[in-house]
Chains A and B, each alone.
Chain A
Amino acid sequence: MCSATRCATRSTRGTPSDVAAILSVANLHVTYRRAGAHIESLREVSLDVEAGECVGIVGESGSGKSQLCLAIMGLLPADAHLGGSIRFADEQWLSAPRERLERVRGAKLAMVFQDPLSALTPHLKIGVQMGEVLVNHRGVSWTVARAAALAMLSRVGIADPARCLDQYPHQLSGGMRQRVMIGMGLLCEPQLLIADEPTTSLDVSVQAQVLDLLAKMRRDFRMAILLVSHDLAVVAGLAERIIVMYAGRVVENARARDLFDRPRHPYTQALMRCAPELGGPLLARLPTLPGQPPSAGERLEGCEFAPRCAYATEHCRRHRPALEPLEDGRLVACHAARPA
C-alpha cells in the first residue's frame, strides 16, 4: 500500500518520480496504552512532501494533525508507540538515535507552534532564544549569532529588530511573537518547516500577514512547508497539495486546485460547505456538520466517517474504504467516490 501511495502522489504533480521527496511518511501508526486501553492517534498515515513543496493538512481537532507533526519532529511523548516509517532527507527518521535527531531538529527540520506565547521561554530574551539555535547548530560565537538573529528579525518584518533582541516574549504582540517563532525556525535555513496552526492564536488581520510572511519566506529559502490548520481557508492560499485527515487517517490527498474544484470525500465536502463564503448573504447561518468524530479509543469496523456521512451505506459501516487513487490521480478513502 505504501508504494502505491507514493507512486500515486508523485503522479498527481505530473512530474517524473525523480523529484525527491524530502519527507516521506509511510503507513505511520501512533498508539498509546493508557489505563489499559489502546488509543490510536494516527492510523496508516502515508504522505510525501517534495523539496520546496507546500502541503496543507486539514482536519478538525483530534484528527491527528498535531500528532503527525510531533511524530515527524520526533517529539511525541515517551509512551507513544510508533509503527511504519518516516524518512526525512533520505534517512530513516523513526529509528534514528537521539544525537542524530538533535543535529537535524532546528537545523534542517524546523517547527513553528500554534501559540507563540507559551512556545517561547518566558525568562529568556529573544536574542538568546534565537541566538542559541546558531550557537548550537553552527558552533558560532554569541556575537555572530546575535547579528544573524538581528538580520533574521528584520527579514521577518520586525520593525525595530535591535530592540526586539533585548525584549522578553511577553513584551511583544502576538503577531510579533509568531514572526519571531518563524524567524527562529528559519535561522539554519531548513529544508522543511512544519507550521502547526501558526495563525490560530492570532487576530484575523495578523493571520493574513503571517501567512504572507510564510509564503515569502518559502520563496526566499526554497524550503518545503507542511502547513497544518483546521481551517481550509488558511491552507488554500499557500498549499499546492492538501491532505484531509479524519480520526487519525488520511481521507483525501489531492492537488489544491482539484480539491477546491471538486472535493470527493464527503468529509472534505462537508468541510467546504462549513466555510463562510465571500459575497454570500451576511446573516446566513453557516451549515454545520452534525455529530462527533469517533473518540481516539474507539475502533470502528467500517469507515470512521460513516456515522456522520450522508451517503453512508451498510457496506460503508462494514468495510473500511482504502486510500486509493482516482482517475485524476488524487487519493480518496471513500466507497462512494469510486463507482464500484
Chain B
Amino acid sequence: MLRYFILRLLAAVPTLLAIVTISFFLIHAVPGGPFDQEQTLSTQVTRNLDAEYGLNQPVWVQYTRYLAGLMHGDFGPSFRYQDFSVGELIRQGLPVSMTLGAIAMSLALLAGVGIGIAAALHRQRLLDHAAIALAIAGVAIPSFVLLPALDLFFGVYLRWLPVAGWEPGSPRYFVLPVITLCLPPLAFIARLTRASMIEVMQSGYVRTAFAKGLPLRTIVLRHALRPALVPVVSYLAPAVAMTMTGSLVVEKIAGLPGIGRYLVQGALNRDYTLVLGMVIVYSALLILMGLLVDLTLGALDPRVRLAG
C-alpha cells in the first residue's frame, strides 16, 4: 500500500514534466506576447522589457531557464502583475480558492449522495421527481445567474449576508459563493448516485439481503452503498481539482481574492509564467486526486487490487 503510494507519486514526476513541456511550447506558440497590449510603449521600451524577461532568447533557452527555476521551486515572475512572482500570487490566492472549493465539494458530496439515495429508493415518486428537477436546475443554471440572484435576495433584500467581499476568518462571505459553487457538482453527484443505486438495488446480492430479512436501512447502508459509490468517487477526481482551483465567475462576482481568474486572464494576457504555474497547480491536484480516488476504490471493493 505504502509502496504503491510512493510509486504512484514518483510516476507523477514525468507526467508533470510532460504537461509543463507541452503547455510551455503551446503558450509560446500562440501569437502575441505579454507586452503587446500596451500600445503606448515604444519599440525601445518593449525591446528592453523583452530583454529583461529573457523573451528575446530562443524558445528552448527560455524553456531550460524556466525548468531550472522550477527545480528550485521558482515559478518565475508574473508578466502582468509586475511586482509579484507567480509563486507569491498562487500562495496568496490558493488558500482562499481551496477553502471555498473544499467546503463546496464536501457539501456537494454529502447532499448529493443523500439526495441520490433518497431518490433511488422513492423511484418515480414525488421525492424522486423533485430530486431530478433539482439536478436539472443545478446543471442548467449558470453560476453568473445564480450568484447574482442569491446576492440580490439574501444580500440586498433580506440583508442576511454580504453581497460580495472578503474578510479573513469571516465565514459569512463564503456562504453564497459556496452555494453557487456546490450546486452543479451536487446535482451531478445526485444523478450519478441515483442511477447506480437503482442498479445496485436490483443486483443479486441485494436480493439475497432482502431474502435474509434484513431491514431496508441495513441493506442500503451495508450492502448497497459502497458499490453504488464507485462511479461517484471516480467523478470526484476531476471535479475536486476543478473546484479547488477556483472559479473565474464566482470569485469575480463575489470579489474573492482566489486564483480562479489567473488561468483565463493569464492566457489572455500571454502571462506565460502565470499560465504555466496554474497548469502545474491544477495538474498536480488532478494527479493527487486520481491517486486518492484509486486508493478509495480499492477500499470500496476488495476485488480491486492495487498493483504498483
Contacts and interface: CB of A to CB of B under 8 A. Distances in A.
Partners in one complex: yes
Interface of A: 73, 75, 101-107, 110-111, 113, 115, 118-124, 128, 132-133, 136-137, 168, 170, 181, 184
Interface in B202-224: 203-205, 207-215, 218, 222-223
Nearest to A117: B204
A115 B211 contact: no
Contacts of A137: 213
Nearest to A77: B202
Contacts of B204: 113, 115, 118-119
Contacts of A104: 213
Interface of B: 203-205, 207-215, 218, 222-223, 226-227, 300-303
B221 to A, nearest CB: 12
Nearest to B214: A136
A75 B211 contact: yes
A181 B207 CA distance: 13
Contact of B215 (A102, A111, A119, A122): A102
B306 to A, nearest CB: 15
Nearest to A187: B212
Contacts of B212: 105-106, 110, 132-133, 136, 184
A106 B211 CA distance: 6
B218 A136 contact: yes
B213 A111 contact: no
A106 B302 contact: no
B302 A122 contact: yes
A132 B208 CA distance: 12
**Majority SS of interface residues in chain B?**
helix
A132 B212 CA distance: 9
A73 B211 contact: yes
Given A121-B223, A123-B300, A102 B207 contact: no
A86 to B, nearest CB: 15
Name, among A105, A122, A123, the residue most crowded by chain B CB atoms within 10 Å (CB to CB): A123
B41 to A, nearest CB: 64
Given A122-B303, A136-B214, A136-B218, A113 B223 contact: no
B137 to A, nearest CB: 28
Contact of A75 (B207, B214, B226): B207
Given A121-B209, A136-B215, 8 more contacts: A75-B210, A106-B213, A111-B211, A113-B204, A113-B211, A123-B300, A133-B212, A184-B212
Contacts of B223: 121, 124
17 contacts: A75-B207, A104-B213, A105-B211, A106-B211, A107-B213, A110-B211, A115-B204, A118-B205, A119-B205, A120-B205, A122-B303, A133-B212, A133-B213, A136-B214, A136-B215, A170-B303, A181-B208
Given A124-B223, A168-B302, A119 B213 contact: no
A29 to B, nearest CB: 22
Nearest to A99: B215
Contacts of A73: 211
B207 A132 contact: no
Contacts of A181: 208
Contacts of A110: 211-212
A73 B212 CA distance: 10
A62 B54 CA distance: 78
A137 B212 CA distance: 9
A288 B223 CA distance: 42
